Structure 1
């Protein structure tokens, strides 16, 4: 099938050893791959020590374009030539070298080699065309018009505009609107790689004209070495927070949050003062840990009241809840050099194929001796992986489980991630309302099977669009003990316990215009409950190849 993700080509086999001597492969322009008109690979192998056939030369040429079906030559060619020599064969290594996590060491000078070094080290000379490309690239980098365009494109894609050693942003949160603050103005910055000190710093300042409150956050981090293996950090935030909002969702003060949320969800919002002081260490490639001291204060917003039962059965209205203690997080992400010590981190959740699943474990402890209003323990762990399934595409799963010990108010219970925005959130339940359910022990499982173009590529005319299909199912099983269900701390209106497992299922189409995905989602639990939808269509956006 011309549209299959498979190479075609020729191989040259040695008649004596039946070994591969040379291979040339390419894939068809009709294959379901984005932004690539053609891709060609040639590899050569030679016999070493009259016994082992090893790769000695590899050449790759790619023809990339934005408009794939255009007759005009819009795009560019990418070429990579690699040669391999000085093989060491039959060397003896100690077995413990191959045990444990891989440790990747990159010298500080690896990216600062001189032209003299490359002239001496290259196995073959550059062609005149290659030399011209290097000169052109150096010239473009110094062109003021190119520099401005690069900064603007970077600001559009990341939300931050570089100004020397700081980035100004997030531009998408300079202005936003919500039912608590009404009009919200915000300005912030972060340091970038031009900042020469072993320190990073980010901060913002915001103001809401309706609640007339200033909000702010500051987060400095100090690195003990140039490789940023060990860091000491602190953060303080005084702002609005939303309970049960996913870490993967756009920020609460993002301009799109003002436009695409269904309902007000006032009860899920609160004021928070949050201090953290932490030490993080990357023990080896993909293995990181963090120990953190935290002090957290939660206060209700206007229209929300905290309620608790006192010793004589009356109802008190606490002005706030305070927790203070320690949390310890351990994370493993195979071959991920940038693994972060936070249990939830967007960059760690990028979809990549890995040999082993990502693992995260966190233990959290609060104690009245450290200034907390109550004692509790929390433990949770997660597993995540994306696996190739040959012609069936690829399979993704995300498993999370946790338990809270002792009696706590509802903001500190286990609240499943919900999403009332029109845009789909991959790690949330997209037909669940914010702060709809609570539990103190739970298991959550998300499954997705992406069958790529297995169906769409077989439909005439539709196959030219290179659309792809997927199916998914999500489930949340939660339980709440009698001590945490309306026994001391009362729930706000709309928050309930789960009487049965919560499920969402659906299917979707992705790779629409190369960037869009549409999910058709059905809710299978409590579908007749007031204020909920049992079916919805939600889009999302990301580039994919």
Structure 2
């Protein structure tokens, strides 16, 4: 028995022989030394201390000494045991370099700096990607995404929140990056075959071969959300896009203006001699990293790079960002990515002990092949790519095809989540989270109540309004969906309702049939673009928080039938037919949509049949799900082009008017490196024919106290009416680039915004004469047409308390209009990184 115990102890010591080290690096006065280089002596494994001089590193190998160095200080070597926590390491100033440190006040020089000279050679020899040198290429890709609760302690485990779920804490482990305890809660694995070509036109396609989730088999939305957090990037680019922001790459040509570089070491990695360069930020609050990279001495291609985002960077909800890449350098011009790992620490605060969630993505690449001829169809993304067997591959398949073996914790996640799904408490918490995310509450299987946020409203016609609605929902990939609601106004004492249905009849080309009917009070003056969706959002009930009166409303009875087709991914065609009747919801003395017919008689009711066709092109968009309804994980990151044609058919179903309407808009958001992000929206349109007020193009006003996209904040509803128009909205968010340089404001992490919007248009005399509302305005001298462009401009502060935005809006002209608003303060809410 004694020998058995000794053998067990020896076995245990070997099993845990890896070295773990954490500590705090200070100078002789006890002040922290940020961005010091820490490395296991005799290896290339190590890291860099953070802004407060703290660090944590570990290795699977056994090392006995740790080497710590920083410019201007003597290099220090300390002995190690297998566990070395909370070390306090003091560095002494190096007399030989003290003068240089004093001159540059801790910042490295650019001229004569060997690290910068090496960096210049990297610029001279860098390539966009080794793959770009081949006409065709293909490779296998394995991707693993994980979520972990972190900073788990005994107090946390005993919270009532986890009553009945205590077994989950059996899998608590320690992060090899931060040294903090964490609990794995989610894992997703995916295998892809990637095909690409560079000539004559660049094309690429990622074919999903297998997918495996822990616990949430059909939740593609969650998985895609995580993937969009960790978008692909090229370390050689000047800017790296993470969390919708542009971080300056340490290999950027502009890097010397935001980074300090130090040549720290040189050694063989494999059979190649490489230089080790440490980099760290010159200033706080900028989107930069700290870390180091190893670069080959002849090809000047990166072999390995590790980096952490500066904790002081202006980014919300993310305490740490850790990036690690390894390359196979084949020759002077070809470098291929071998492994990419990224970890983020999501938390409400930046405090060390604050609890949060680790999000980790590990991607491995293998089996590269070049110049292999393939049919053109291989390079085209499929409109419908869902196959049930992809999500149900057997365990043997994964054992054979994983490029990286799962550790015990990761294997345990699958078992833990399967068990957790059977716990009633967990189901309740999951449902609460789903409700907050979607706005719908699952009453019973297959039916959701909501949207909750539209349950109450108010306007000058209906008074206080209550709305009750719901939808069918069995899975995210339902091929059909029914929705409906009923509402009641306590001032007009009337019930309203809406009902619609959609059916995906062809998955390969996404042919969708939809139909519905809505009878409700509508605010038709909030959008230039024609929209006949039966259950689209109504602004009529948004007057809880609004300026001015909201009585320019219309009683609408609308029926619609449409066919949508997507023959090519992200290219959608829509054909629709609509019949609607309209009356003024307010007394004629307040608002009147009546028109004069051919005999000069006033008609208060409008009956109209319309046919419409629309084309929407959204290149680069990544829709989530394969059912009749899909969400978009990267909405706004790519351009949208929309073209529509509407034909009014007189006489059919007693329709009153014959007319034609063309509309076109273009919407895009551009990340502009270190200068923030620019959003712009362009729209033009023209209506042909003599039509009443509701068929014209009303310039959208915004009487709410909150910002509303594509509206004019200082206009009232129906201030401007046109039959031809052009509009532009432009906004630039500097992401705190200016305010972060002001000492007293730096800690607030506010972000400055500037923008403007303008519209120009015309209105024919025939259309003025046909509308009672416009004719009365014309006689009174209050008819304003924006033949001279109307414009507004604004400055704003974003990221107040991380989710509030305030805009200060100024009117540019048309100061003499009735009830004019020359200045307004608008608010907004949002989830921003």
Q: Same fold (TM over 0.5)?
A: yes
Q: Which range moves more in the overlay, 89-98 or 128-137? A: 89-98
1:200 counterpart residue number: 481
Partners in 2 of 1:544 and 1:353 — Cα distance?
14
1:128 counterpart residue number: 408
**Cα deviation per residue 1:6-55 (whole Å; 9 max; x = unaligned)?**
23332222334333222222211011111111111111112459984311
Alignment of 1:212-223 (within 5 A): 212-223=493-504
Matched, 1:10 2:298: no
Matched, 1:285 2:605: no
Q: Which range moves more in the overlay, 406-415 or 278-287? A: 278-287
Q: Which range moves more in the overlay, 192-201 or 367-376? A: 192-201
Partners in 1 of 2:783 and 2:495 — Cα distance?
29
Matched, 1:263 2:577: no
Does the residue aligned with 1:152 lie in a helix, a strand or coil?
helix
Q: 1:469 aligned to 752, 755, 764, which one?
A: 752
Q: 1:308 aligned to 595, 598, 608, which one?
A: 595
Partners in 1 of 2:787 and 2:800 — Cα distance?
38
**Cα deviation per residue 1:404-453 (whole Å; 9 max; x = unaligned)?**
00100011100111110011112110110011110000000001111111
Q: 1:366 aligned to 648, 651, 661, which one?
A: 648
Q: Does the 8 Å CA contact 2:455/2:466 hold for their aligned counterparts?
A: yes
Matched, 1:55 2:342: no
Matched, 1:85 2:369: no
Q: Does the 8 Å CA contact 1:322/1:373 hold for their aligned counterparts?
A: yes
**Cα deviation per residue 1:277-323 (whole Å; 9 max; x = unaligned)?**
1110112221101000111111111413444345665xx33231111
After superposition, the Cα gap between the structure-2 partners of 1:298 and 1:390, relative to the gap in structure 1 and judged at 3 Å, is same
Q: Which has the larger radius of gyration?
A: 2
Partners in 2 of 1:131 and 1:95 — Cα distance?
39
Q: Which range moves more in the overlay, 455-464 or 433-442? A: 455-464
Q: Which range moves more in the overlay, 172-181 or 280-289? A: 172-181
Does the residue aligned with 1:485 lie in a helix, a strand or coil?
helix
2:764 counterpart residue number: 481
Partners in 2 of 1:223 and 1:104 — Cα distance?
13
Q: Which runs of 4+ in 1 moved over 6 A?
A: 94-98, 247-250, 345-350
**Cα deviation per residue 1:204-242 (whole Å; 9 max; x = unaligned)?**
122223323221111111111346811111111111111
Q: 1:189 aligned to 463, 470, 476, which one?
A: 470
Gaps of 5+ in 2: 1-282
Q: Which range moves more in the overlay, 518-527 or 439-448? A: 518-527
1:329 counterpart residue number: 614
Matched, 1:456 2:743: no
Alignment of 1:369-380 (within 5 A): 369-371=651-653, 372-380=655-663
After superposition, the Cα gap between the structure-2 partners of 1:271 and 1:282, relative to the gap in structure 1 and judged at 3 Å, is same
Alignment of 1:92-111 (within 5 A): 92-93=373-374, 102-103=381-382, 106-109=385-388, 110-111=390-391
**Cα deviation per residue 1:265-284 (whole Å; 9 max; x = unaligned)?**
31x20111111111101122
Matched, 1:161 2:441: yes
Q: 1:144 aligned to 424, 431, 454, which one?
A: 424
Matched, 1:65 2:352: no
**Cα deviation per residue 1:232-263 (whole Å; 9 max; x = unaligned)?**
11111111111212499974365xx2420212
1:532 counterpart residue number: 820
Partners in 1 of 2:336 and 2:610 — Cα distance?
57
Does the residue aligned with 1:88 lie in a helix, a strand or coil?
strand
* Corresponding residue pairs, total: 531
Does the residue aligned with 2:603 lie in a helix, a strand or coil?
coil
**Cα deviation per residue 1:453-495 (whole Å; 9 max; x = unaligned)?**
1111111242112111110010000111121122565426576
Alignment of 1:397-412 (within 5 A): 397-412=680-695
2:398 counterpart residue number: 118
After superposition, the Cα gap between the structure-2 partners of 1:368 and 1:487, relative to the gap in structure 1 and judged at 3 Å, is closer
Gaps of 5+ in 1: none
1:252 counterpart residue number: 539
Question: CA offset at residue 130 of structure 1?
Answer: 1.9
Q: Does the 8 Å CA contact 2:340/2:363 hold for their aligned counterparts?
A: yes
1:225 counterpart residue number: 506
Q: Which range moves more in the overlay, 9-18 or 534-543? A: 9-18
TM-score w.r.t. length of structure 1: 0.90
After superposition, the Cα gap between the structure-2 partners of 1:490 and 1:330, relative to the gap in structure 1 and judged at 3 Å, is same
Matched, 1:523 2:811: yes
TM-score w.r.t. length of structure 2: 0.60
2:582 counterpart residue number: 298
Q: Does the 8 Å CA contact 1:187/1:206 hold for their aligned counterparts?
A: yes
Q: CA RMSD in A?
A: 2.9
Q: Does the 8 Å CA contact 1:237/1:273 hold for their aligned counterparts?
A: yes
Q: 1:425 aligned to 701, 708, 711, which one?
A: 708
Partners in 1 of 2:354 and 2:633 — Cα distance?
36
Q: Does the 8 Å CA contact 1:310/1:488 hold for their aligned counterparts?
A: no
Q: Does the 8 Å CA contact 1:442/1:476 hold for their aligned counterparts?
A: yes
Question: CA offset at residue 351 of structure 1?
Answer: 5.4
Alignment of 1:161-180 (within 5 A): 161-163=441-443, 164-180=445-461
After superposition, the Cα gap between the structure-2 partners of 1:349 and 1:483, relative to the gap in structure 1 and judged at 3 Å, is farther
Q: Which range moves more in the overlay, 396-405 or 519-528? A: 519-528
